[in-house]
Amino acid sequence: MLSADNLAFGYHGKPVGSGVSIDIRAGEVLCLLGPNGGGKTTLMKTLLGLLPPLAGAVRLDSEDVAAWPRKRLARVVGYVPQAHAAFFPFAVSDIVLMGRSAHVGLFAAPSRHDRAVAALALETLGIGHLRDRIYTEISGGERQLVLIARALAQEPRILVMDEPTASLDFGNQLRVLGRIAALAAAGMAVVLSTHDPDHVFLCGDRVALLHGGRLEAIGAPEAVITAAALKRVYGVDVQVVELPDHATRICVPAVEELRPRRPATP
């Protein structure tokens, strides 16, 4: 559906990465994993059309989107930024309603239909009760869900999420990942960046490992996230362990490296 075709990306002509080809399919979660500075964020901004490609192209259903007006792109691709503190105390319902801007005429205000779509987006994520709350007064996890609801109100086919679990507590991380998996199960294509390989195992259908602006590997999480790959990319020793249920894997740091054994006391 959405594809990067031999893409080079960067800021003001300075390349951050190049030669990246990926395609994003309906109903799957594609995770971008890699160290800081590896090019995850820049790649996502280029996929969103916020940065022009330095080479190659971003295609949607094999059509180059470079010349598309923002409005047309926003009807297909929704962006979920990291939960931030807003500058003004908007009501949650107003924030979500802003997701409708690609469907609202330039001089118009949102219609009853737009309000209904925004309300449905909140309900879909199970946060309908937040609608009259002030965005700046709710928790970080709730804000992240509100921003996902705003992107859903765009009625896109693809969601691009910038570290949706960053700065959330443990419970909220899992709740947000659960919602993301549910959205994909309902047919949404999801691209998300993350710093946590365990999250890829939890909700990723495929993972793209980005390192130094290059695509190291792309494929099923079990195939891509190996002790050797993590050592190569992050430079740390970890074990990738399959849990007894044979369904989940987790990454466990090599403990010796973190806590050198003390000599036994006599």
In angstroms, the Cα distances linking 194 to 30, 48, 106, 167, 221 are 11, 17, 35, 11, 13
In angstroms, the Cα distances linking 217 to 68, 87, 180, 200 are 30, 39, 23, 14
Q: Taking CB under 8 A as the rule, does residue 133 contact other proteins?
A: no
Of 136, 139, 239, 248, which lies in the binding site for other proteins, with binding defined by CB under 8 A? Answer: 136
Q: Taking CB under 8 A as the rule, does residue 154 contact other proteins?
A: yes
Q: Quote the distance between the C-alpha of residue 240 and its chain's center.
A: 23
Smallest distance from other proteins to CB 95, Å: 9
Size of the site for other proteins (CB under 8 A): 38
Measured from the CB atom, is 89 or 178 closer to other proteins? 89
Per DSSP bridges, beta strands 63-64 and 55-60 are antiparallel
Sign of torsion over alpha carbons 154, 97, 165, 201: negative
Q: Taking CB under 8 A as the rule, does residue 115 contact other proteins?
A: no
Q: Taking CB under 8 A as the rule, does residue 188 contact other proteins?
A: no
Smallest distance from other proteins to CB 178, Å: 24
Could you give the CA distance from residue 214 to residue 216 in angstroms, rounded to a whole number? 6
The one segment of 23-31, 83-91, 188-196, 237-245 that binds other proteins by CB under 8 A: 83-91
Could you tell me if 193 and 40 are in contact, meaning their C-beta atoms sit under 8 angstroms apart?
yes
Measured from the CB atom, is 102 or 229 closer to other proteins? 102
Q: Taking CB under 8 A as the rule, does residue 102 contact other proteins?
A: yes
Query: Residues interacting with other proteins, by CB under 8 A?
Result: 11-12, 45, 48-50, 69-71, 73-75, 77-79, 81, 85-91, 94, 98-99, 101-102, 104, 106-110, 134, 136, 150, 154
